[in-house]
Structure 1
Amino acid sequence: MASPAVPPPADSDGLDRPAQRARRERILDAAVALGSEGGYDAVQMRAVAERSGVALGTLYRYFPSKVQLLVSAMAREIDGIRLPSAERMAGLTPADRILAVLSRATKVFQRDPNLAGALVRAVMFADASATAEVDQVTQRMNSIIIRMMRGEDGDPTPRDIAVAGLIAKVWFVSEIQWLSGRTKARQVIDDLELVVRELVH
């Protein structure tokens, strides 16, 4: 199971941590299902509570707002991106490894436009109350890119970190443009390839 984007809150009902995590996963599953069915507007907190089988008050203890809930769901989706095997990574350049992962991430998001739109809108709407959740999304995406960039070759340099952040921003902006109909799906990959091959050698 992927690490949670935000640690679950302490419960007053005496449930142990595995039970809390299981409940949190059910809540995220419900939010993702509703987002997939009807996009951002379909993810209503009462509907999430009903579908996940938790009380509305319990839901708000885990996720104080819809935005925090959906941004946490996006962090979990990023955690689920399948990375190349060690054997395949060994045969690819750093740029090729990054592009392989970002292509997979792009295909996953574009396969479900309703859900992608819900998750991206949540990140765009996030204010200071969702800083921790947005930071988790950023850290997860940057971490994947840095891992593909460096492989097992020690700690990242300041330039590696800056480049990873820039590539992640290009990916996110490209997804926004695709969701708004301003660019085609294939163009997202083409733009990423241009940026990655320019920055990563």
Structure 2
Amino acid sequence: MTTTSRAVPGGPGRRPERPQLTERQEERRRRILKATAELAGLGGFDAVQMREVAERAGVALGTLYRYFPSKVHLLVATLQDQLRQLQETLRKRPPTAAEPGARVAQTLMRAFRALQREPQLADAMVRALIFADRSVGPEVEVASRLTSAIILDAMGAGGRPTPEQLSVARVIEHTWHAALITWLSGRASSAQVRTDIETVCRLVGAPADRP
């Protein structure tokens, strides 16, 4: 699930762009994503079948495919939706730690606790990222940029993050993804995830020694 993190154009506070939809189209899209999250939450990746999603969302199967060409596209879009919800929550209740690294750790652990409450959904979204091929590249990029924006917001990077801040966010994002994969595969405990996240945030948050 390695992705390339990039800053959101205009700074971490701005949302990545997606095509403008009419009010009716947006409402339909919301129903589709809600149905996807519900099915994934019940049975994980395998439970998300396009026909079942269409039936639960109350849309024609052909309509669903016009919005999302495959199950992987659909689940990556669901991940984007979850990240946007997290971003809104964090704006209302931002992390409170004094140090940037500690704020990022607080943010990611808040996200991790949410994933722990919905492990099947978490597994489905992570699997979608792993299975994504080039055709899903733009959608994966949006998810990566949202993750970067959340991390940069917690760092207090402002509207124009520096190259060093972008690099720090990228390293933290890679560690976050790896920690999720090892946890979902049963190769790491929740405590280990916390330790890894806090460690990387502490290490990359410390000022580098320069000659």
SS at match of 1:67: helix
Is 2:197 the counterpart of 1:185?
no
- What is the root-mean-square deviation of aligned Cα atoms in Å? 1.9
Relative CO higher for 1 or 2, CA cutoff 8 Å, sep ≥ 6? 2
For 1:83, the equivalent position in structure 2 comes to: 90
Q: Deviations over 1:32-89 (max 9, x none)?
A: 0000000000000000000000000000000011000000101111111131657864
For 2:53, the equivalent position in structure 1 comes to: 48
Shift of 1:145: 0.5
Q: Which runs of 5+ in 1 are unaligned?
A: 10-16
Q: What are the equivalent positions in structure 2 for 1:13-52 lying under 5 Å apart?
A: 17-52=22-57
Q: Deviations over 1:141-181 (max 9, x none)?
A: 001111111254x5111111111011011111101100100
Q: Deviations over 1:108-165 (max 9, x none)?
A: 111111111100000000000100110011000001111111254x511111111101
Which one-letter code corresponds to 1:122 in the other structure? A
Which one-letter code corresponds to 1:124 in the other structure? I
Provide the TM-score with structure 2 as the length reference. 0.84
Distance 1:113 1:163 in 2: 28
For 1:98, the equivalent position in structure 2 comes to: 104
Within the candidate set 126, 130, 136, 1:124 is matched to: 130
Shift of 1:7: 2.7
For 1:7, the equivalent position in structure 2 comes to: 19
Shift of 1:8: 6.2
SS at match of 2:19: coil
SS at match of 1:80: helix
Within the candidate set 111, 115, 119, 2:121 is matched to: 115
For 2:5, the equivalent position in structure 1 comes to: none
Distance 1:95 1:119 in 2: 26
Distance 1:6 1:130, change over 3 A: farther
Which one-letter code corresponds to 2:90 in the other structure? L
Conservation of the 8 A alpha-carbon contact between 1:142 and 1:168: yes
SS at match of 2:90: coil
Q: Which runs of 5+ in 2 are unaligned?
A: 1-14, 207-211
Shift of 1:102: 0.2
Provide the TM-score with structure 1 as the length reference. 0.88
Distance 2:135 2:109 in 1: 31
Q: Which moved more, 1:78-87 or 1:19-28?
A: 78-87
